[in-house]
Every structure is written in C-alpha cells, then in structure tokens.
Amino acid sequence: MSEAAQHSATLGPAAAASASRGMRPAMISKVAGWLLVLALLVAWEASARLGLVKSQSWPPFTGVLRAVWDGMLTGELLGVLLSTMLRMLKGFLIGSAIGVVLGLLIATVPLLRRFLSIVIEAVRPLPIPAIVPPLILFLGIDDGLKVTVVALAVTFPVLINTIGGVDNIDGTLLQTARTFRKTRLETMTSIILPSALPTILAGMRISLGLAFVTTIVAEMIAGSAGVGYFIMVTQYGMRPDQMYAAVICLAALGYGLNWAFVSIERRLVGWDQRQDD
C-alpha cells in the first residue's frame, strides 16, 4: 500500500512546483499574444478609416464585424457555414471510417498489405484538389463530389496512422491476449484497437484540418453552395465586407474544430502517457 502512497506523494509537489515556476512567463507571453492580435485589428481598422489603404476591397474591421452580425441575423452566412460544416463532417466521418477499417485490415492481414501497399503509395502523394476537375466528369458538382473528395483526403492520414499504430503494439500485449485465449475479434476490439487509438486519433486530427481545407477548395472549384462558393461570389460581386466576414468565421470555426477534437482526444486516450510528454 505504502508504495502507491509514496508514488502519489512524490508526484504532487513536483507537479505543483513546475506549475508555479512555469506560470508567470507563460501568462505574460499569453497576454502579450492577445495584445498583438488586438494591435493588428486596430491597425486594420485605422488603415481603412484613415485612408492609409485606399481600396474598395479593404473595409474596416468593424464593418466586417457588422457583416458577420448581419449575415448571422439574415441567416445567409449562417446557412452557408452550416452547409459547409455538414459536408465536411460527412466526408470526414466516411473517410475516417474507411481509413480505420482498411488500416486495421492491412495491418493484420500480411497478404492484403503486400497487395495494397503499392497502390496506396502511388495514390497517397496526389494533391487532392488536382483530382477535383476529373472527378467532376463522373460525379457532377453536387454534394456527392465534395463529400467524395473530402473523404479521399481524410482517408490517407488515418489509414497510414492506423497501420503505424497497429505495427507499434508491443508483442507482449498480443501474447497476453493469446494466453487468455481471446478470439481474433476479441483481440481486435480489446487489445489492437485501444492500443492503436492514440495514433489513429492523431491521424484523424491531421485529417480534420485537411477536410476543412479540402471542403472549401472543392466548393470554390465546383461551386454551387457553401462558404467556398460564398467567398467566390462575394469576391466577384464586390462585397468585400461579406467576403472577409466569411473568412473570419472560417478562422473561428477552424480553431473551434481543433479545440473540440483535442478535448475529445484527451477524454478518449488520457491514459496514454505519451500525450503528456
């Protein structure tokens, strides 16, 4: 019993000490960071208001904020943001599912690995936007196209990380499953999947960013709906305040998505000590 008591006792003060040591400089640089953002926004506002930049396409920051507000009230901006998000999530989920399932299969069936590895290595380096125009020929410019493109972009990082995660499982853990006579399916769900989960989620986090970018790009190339299309339309229509409003919303959304994903990740794989290092 005393072994654990000692353990937690040594953990406590050490953690507290490092926190109090690290707190001050961290706080200062964080405040300074926000001040920089504020300064840049003030510079933006001033440059437009004082006529430092004279251009139809350079509205003041407050004008952009106003456009965000109006866009939300009328529902126009809100609508395009939501449709983009929905499209992106569909592609993200489909691509992640394919990546995980295919990855688990490839990692555990040697024959499949040898069979598929060349195809995967050949397709993987393709810049996804490059295959949008050819895909339009088959899928048109509707949702089907965009979801497919996003799913394709998402699949590879998830696939590669799933294979890597399974490859790195310690042999002792697999032998443990054997000595307790677990079936292949039980070993898959109770040992292989949880062991590989931190690596899989890391791949999904990379893919989430890719999905976001890919959705917007696909909407710009094959435009009929969504924020990507909205940005193109407002640019052509000389409505810069609305264009910047969409861009600002995208920045906030991207930040929010990553934050949400990281919180889910912490919850799921908090046991993984490599996360803390």
Partner 1 sequence: MTGQLNPAEAPIIEVLNLSHAFTARGHTVPVFQDISMSIRRGEFLSVLGPSGCGKSTLLQIIAGLLPSMSGRVLFEGQQVTGPPPEMVYLFQQYNKSLLPWRSVLGNVSFAMEGKTWTRSQRAERGMEYLRIVGLDDFADHYPWQLSGGMQQRVAIARALAAEPKVLLMDEPFSAVDALTRLELQTLVLKIWAQSGLTVVLVTHDVDEAVFMADRVAMLSRRPAVMDRIVETGLPRPRDAVVTRETPRFLELRHQLLDTLLHRDPVGADA
Binding site for partner 1 (CB under 8 A): 1, 3-4, 7-8, 170, 172-173, 175-176, 178-183, 186, 190-191, 194, 197, 269, 271-273
Contact 228, 218 (CB under 8 A): yes
Cα Rg for the chain, rounded, in angstroms?
A: 24
Residue 192: DSSP 8-state:
I
Nearer of residues 72 and 177 to partner 1, judged by Cβ: 177
* Residue type, position 44, single letter: W
| Least distance in angstroms from the C-beta of 97 to partner 1 | 21
Q: Which is nearer to partner 1, 4 or 130 (CB)?
A: 4
Q: Which is nearer to partner 1, 49 or 178 (CB)?
A: 178
CB 276 to partner 1: min, Å:
10
Beta strand extents in the chain (DSSP E only): none
Considering the complex, what minimum distance in angstroms separates the CB of residue 77 from partner 1?
A: 42
Burial class of residue 113, CB neighbours in 10 A (0-12, 13-18, 19+)? middle
- Distance of alpha carbon 185 from alpha carbon 3, whole angstroms: 37
Provide the minimum distance between the beta carbon of 267 and partner 1 in the complex, in angstroms, as a whole number.
12
User: Other CB atoms closer than 10 Å to residue 197's CB: what's the count?
Assistant: 18
Minimum CB distance to partner 1 smaller for 14 or for 252: 14
